[in-house]
Amino acid sequence: AQSVSQHNHHVILSEAASLELGCNYSYGGTVNLFWYVQYPGQHLQLLLKYFSGDPLVKGIKGFEAEFIKSKFSFNLRKPSVQWSDTAEYFCAVNAAGGATNKLIFGTGTLLAVQP
Amino acid sequence: EAEVAQSPRYKITEKSQAVAFWCDPISGHATLYWYRQILGQGPELLVQFQDESVVDDSQLPKDRFSAERLKGVDSTLKIQPAELGDSAMYLCASSLGRGGTTYGYTFGSGTRLTVV
């Protein structure tokens, strides 16, 4: 069965600090990978996704993620965070070419950026 | 920008009562999902529809939960009777893709259910 692990449950950073949020998945086949963000009081929004090709994926708002197949990882990065990045971040995976498009989510990382 | 509409936004109900949530996906999206997000956890799929057919309901507690998408457009998720442990955010999402293909998902704002 597929599973997703996000090891950082709470992260507190100062503005301009660099961010890296860990995500590891468990699945033996080919996967599609996603990072979603949920700002306070808002719905889940897609930050970026990886289907195939260049393992370094660039998303919105200066975020990027790198797919490392050998490590089953898809870590999210941002070189300089802003106060407005305060939100909860979810990593998700689904089986590429599977019968369903079911997303398996991690437990989320709550990021607080201090001005 | 097209949105997935959900109502109500908030719902408080007493234990053992019935409750229903409604979702209207983006027009033309064939696939509709209901997810449940318990506080402190990631969303978990309850049921997936492709058009009006259920594709995956393996995690749906069928003794108390039911879902339908009669005309393949909007959908209703029902809980009867509600239990305290059902308190959560219920998210609806839709996707242009059908089974076996992958497109982006669009999530609605959710219905926050509190069972007292």
Work out the number of other CB atoms within 10 angstroms of the CB of residue A48.
19
Could you tell me what percent of chain B has a pLDDT over 70?
A: 95
Chain B nearest-CA distance from A104, in A, is 7
Given an 8 Å threshold on Cβ–Cβ distance, is A94 in contact with B48?
A: no
Report the range of poorest mean pLDDT among A21-25, A100-104, B10-14, B29-33.
A100-104
Whether the per-residue pLDDT at A89 is higher than 50: the answer is yes
The residue in chain A having the minimum alpha-carbon distance to the alpha carbon of residue B3 is A43
Strand, helix or coil for residue B85: helix
Beta strands B111-115 and B10-13, pairing class: parallel
Q: What mean pLDDT is reported for chain A?
A: 92
Strand, helix or coil for residue B89: strand
Whether the per-residue pLDDT at A100 is higher than 90: the answer is no
B-side interface with A, Cβ within 8 Å? 31, 33, 35, 40-45, 48, 55-56, 91, 93, 95, 97, 99-105, 107-110
Long-range contacts of A52-55 (CB under 8 A, 24+ apart): none
Strand, helix or coil for residue B84: helix
| Both tokens assigned to A63 | 């975020």
- Measured between beta carbons, the chain B residues lying within 8 angstroms of A42 are 109
Phi, psi of B109 (to 5 degrees): -80, -15
Chain A nearest-CA distance from B47, in A, is 9
User: Which distant-in-sequence residues (6+ apart) come within 8 Å of B36 by Cβ?
Assistant: B43, B44, B46, B88, B89, B90, B91
The residue in chain B having the minimum alpha-carbon distance to the alpha carbon of residue A4 is B42
Q: What is the DSSP letter of B86?
A: G
Given an 8 Å threshold on Cβ–Cβ distance, is B40 in contact with A101?
A: no
Confidence class for position A97, pLDDT limits 50, 70, 90: low
- Measured between beta carbons, the chain B residues lying within 8 angstroms of A45 are 107
What is chain A written as a DSSP string?
--EEE---SEEEEETT--EEE--EEE-SS-EEEEEEEE-TTS--EEEEEE-SS-SEEE-GGG-EEEEEGGGTEEEEEESS--GGG-EEEEEEEEETT-SS---EE---EEEEEE-
Chain A nearest-CA distance from B35, in A, is 10
Rounded to an integer, what distance in angstroms lies between the CA atom of residue A18 and that of residue B67? 43
Contact B56, B48 (CB under 8 A): yes
Tens of pLDDT, residues A11-28: 999 999 999 999 999 987
Confidence class for position A76, pLDDT limits 50, 70, 90: very high
Whether the per-residue pLDDT at B79 is higher than 70: the answer is yes
pLDDT for the residue numbered A94: 85
Chain A nearest-CA distance from B38, in A, is 10
